[in-house]
Amino acid sequence: MEKEKTFLGQPRGLSTLFFTEMWERFSYYGMRAILVYFMYDAVANGGLGLPKGTAVAIMSIYGSLVYMSSIVGGWISDRLLGSNKSVFYGGILIMLGHIVLATPLGIPALFVSMMLIVIGTGLLKSNVSGMVGHLYSKDDIRRDAGFSIFYMGINIGGLLAPIIVGILGQEVNYHLGFSIAAIGMFIGLVQYYVQGKTTLKSVAIAPTNPLSAAEKKTFFRAVVLVLLALAVLFGPAAATGHLSVDIFINFISVLGIFLPIYYFTKMLRSKDVTPDEKKKVLAYIPLFLSAIVFWSLEEQGSSILALFAADRTQSTLFGINIPASLYQTLNPLFVVLLTPVFVWLWTKLGSRQPRTEVKFAIGLVLAGLSFLLLMLPSLLFGVEERVSPLWLVLSFFIMIAGEMCLSPVGLSVTTKLAPKAFEAQTLAIWLLADASSQAINAQIARFYTPQTEGMYYGIVGGVAVVVGIILYLARKPIRNLIGNIH
Ligand code: GLU
Ligand code: ASP
């Protein structure tokens, strides 16, 4: 028999998915590295001239919608398109979204672009990770390693993006930056199409649970109804010029709280979920809530901490000038550096390694500490003096050590605890924690002012540490519900 060609000892399809997601994340994080500055920079400098507070809130709402939409993307792939096509169409929408932002059409372009990227990412992100799962049988021992390699791909994209898009976007012109993001997604699409023809030709090509003709009719009717409802809800406010960014932000924040409640209630009441599976859903709830707190802090890396980078740190380090967007490389850089360390550590500890719920608690405490650390610059030097960028570097380092304890572990525990009947939506449920966290961030950002930054970091960091400790104290009952899954 011909020996199977592999990529780092993994199925060849992993290489295709790795690079597709790497380029998609390159375009996403590249765009995000400059977006906040583009929004609040003065029109004369090529920005949109929005107030800083609004710009930060839009970053969060946008981040929230991008992950919330994976519920829709998961559903479309399950019932209409299959993951393979969903990823491709999603990529096209994302590329168009960046192209729109590369045009000098101002605020309308921003909103059209956001819409395209939200729907596109909804179609692409959870499906591309789902396809990674499809490459392995359930008991293939390469599965976890495959996911770690894939997570590295995400972060290599996230690492290159602020360097290339950030420098060109901030030092030359924002629109050039957004064009580079579009080109990145284009390369990813070509690569997916060409390489995927051989490596993914039989992976997830059909919907798993296709709609019948009658269901299709009901579906399209429901789409029309939802659009009408939205028109009724927002139409009058828009027509009379009262549709403010604030109304929209509040609406999404409510959705961010409501959606997980809806999902968990649905799982706990479904007759397709066995009593044993329901216990696991119950155990998953505290982990999910902790993940919301964790992502809330982690995602502020590209909003509140981006302001810290621009306004509070000295713009040179060892004599070299650093554009603020470059700080966005720190998160993915530390993920790339620390992943091998943590894989080694968990392997070395073997069965003595902390259980999932304890790893989550450690992750939260570290995230909290990374914020508590940022209380010090204003306490020591006041808020007028710019401080060394190393404060931010150390803060990101601690945060990412926490991410290593929570994020990859979270992905795998989600796939293990999700009930069978909800399997296809599993990754969408995990992304929902990140979506909710950013819906909450859009609200708490209001409490941030440069004058009171120390208090802000102290309270937010303190909450994360306390939640981490509570989770640690609750580890026994959680473990009883989880059973013997590691
Ligand atoms: N930062 C990761 C990504 O962009 C993880 C997001 C999450 O799992 O919430 O894929
Ligand atoms: N660490 C983020 C996600 O893991 C990526 C980033 O912020 O660039 O994978």
The region of weakest confidence among 212-216, 256-260, 300-304, 314-318 is 314-318
The Å distance, Cα 290 to ligand 1 centre, comes to 15
In angstroms, what is the span from residue 242 Cα to ligand 1's centroid?
34
Q: Which atom of ligand 1 is nearest to the CA of 331?
A: 1
**157: CA distance to ligand 2 center in Å?**
9
Name which residue sits closest to atom 5 of ligand 1, judged by CA. 407
In angstroms, the CA 433 to CA 344 distance is 27
Given ligand 2 and candidates 67, 151, 155, which is best to mutate, with the most ligand atoms within 8 Å of its CB? 155
Atom of ligand 1 nearest to the CA of 433: 9
Work out which ligand 2 atom sits closest to the CA atom of 301.
Answer: 7
| DSSP label at residue 308 | H
Q: Rounded to the nearest whole angstrom, what is the distance from the C-alpha of residue 303 to the centroid of ligand 2? A: 14
* Cross-strand pairs, 387: 313
What distance in angstroms lies between residue 225's CA and the mean position of ligand 2's atoms?
A: 36
Least confident of 30-34, 190-194, 278-282, 415-419: 415-419
Task: Ligand 1: list residues with CB < 6 Å.
Answer: 25, 154, 295, 407, 431, 434
- Closest residue by Cα to atom 2, ligand 2, is 332
**Separation of alpha carbons 451 and 219, rounded Å:** 51
Among 129, 407, 426, say which to mutate for ligand 1: greatest number of ligand atoms within 8 Å of CB.
Answer: 407
Atom nearest to 28 CA in ligand 1: 4
Give the 3-state secondary structure of the chain: CCCCCEECCEEHHHHHHHHHHHHHHHHHHHHHHHHHHHHHCCHHHCCCCCCHHHHHHHHHHHHHHHHHCHHHHHHHHHHHHCHHHHHHHHHHHHHHHHHHHHCCCHHHHHHHHHHHHHHHHHHHHHHHHHHHHHCCCCCCCCHHHHHHHHHHHHHHHHHHHHHHHHHHHHHHCHHHHHHHHHHHHHHHHHHHHHHHHHHCCCCCCCCCCCCCHHHHHHHHHHHHHHHHHHHHHHHHHHHCCCCCHHHHHHHHHHHHHHHHHHHHHHHHHCCCCCHHHHHHHHHHHHHHHHHHHHHHHHHHHHCHHHHHHHHCECCEECCEECCHHHHHHHHHHHHHHHHHHHHHHHHHHHHHCCCHHHHHHHHHHHHHHHHHHCHHHHHHHCCCCCECCHHHHHHHHHHHHHHHHHHHHHHHHHHHHCCHHHHHHHHHHHHHHHHHHHHHHHHHHHHCCHHHHHHHHHHHHHHHHHHHHHHHHCHHHHHHHHCCCC
Please report the pLDDT score of residue 1 as a whole number. Answer: 42
- In this structure, which residue's CA is closest to atom 3 in ligand 1? 154
Q: How far is the CA of 407 from the centre of ligand 2 (A)?
A: 10
Q: What is the pLDDT of residues 171-217, one digit of tens each?
A: 899 999 999 999 999 999 999 999 988 888 877 777 777 778 888 88
Whether 277 has a pLDDT exceeding 50, the answer reads yes
For ligand 1, atom 8, the nearest C-alpha belongs to: 431
C-alpha 266/C-alpha 410 separation (Å) is 21
Which residue, judged by its Cα, is nearest atom 9 of ligand 2? 155
Give the number of the atom of ligand 1 that is nearest the alpha carbon of residue 67.
9
The DSSP letter of residue 42 is: -
User: How far is ligand 2, taken at its centre, from the CA of residue 341, in Å?
Assistant: 17
Q: Choose one of 18, 20, 23, 25 to mutate for the ligand 1 pocket test, by most ligand atoms within 8 angstroms of C-beta.
A: 25
Dihedral sign, CA of 357, 330, 127, 169?
A: positive
Per the CB < 8 A criterion, the answer to whether 472 and 361 are in contact is yes
Measured in Å, residue 327 CA sits from the centre of ligand 2 at 13
pLDDT band at 2 (very low <50, low <70, confident <90, very high): very low
Compute the distance from residue 367 Cα to the ligand 2 centre, in Å. Answer: 14
**pLDDT value of residue 486:** 57
Q: At 5, is the pLDDT very low, low, confident or very high (cuts 50, 70, 90)?
A: confident
Ligand 1 atom closest to Cα of residue 151: 10
* Identity of the highest mean pLDDT range in 40-49, 446-455, 459-468: 459-468
- Nearest-atom index, ligand 2, CA of 335: 1
- Confidence (pTM): 0.89
Does 240 score more than 80 pLDDT?
no
**Which residue has the least CA distance to atom 1 on ligand 2?**
332
**Which residues, listed in sequence order, are joined to residue 6 by a DSSP beta bridge?**
11
Q: How confident is the model at residue 37 (pLDDT cuts 50, 70, 90)?
A: very high
**Ligand 1 center to residue 97 CA distance, Å?**
20
Distance from residue 419's CA to the centre of ligand 1 (Å): 22
pLDDT at 241 over 70: no
Q: Is 421 exposed, middle or buried (0-12, 13-18, 19+ CB in 10 A)?
A: middle
Cα gap 261→329, rounded to integer Å: 34
From CA 283, how far away is CA 278, in angstroms rounded?
9
pLDDT exceeding 70 applies to what percent of the chain? 97
Q: How far is the CA of 458 from the centre of ligand 1 (A)?
A: 25
Q: What's the rounded mean pLDDT across residues 378-387?
A: 87
Q: What is the position in ligand 1's atom list of the atom closest to the CA of 291? A: 9
Query: Measured in angstroms, how far is the CA atom of residue 331 from the centroid of ligand 2?
Result: 6
Q: Evaluate whether 298 touches 363 at the Cβ level (below 8 Å).
A: no
Ligand 2 — pocket residues by CB below 6 A?
A: 29, 154-155, 158, 331-332, 335, 403
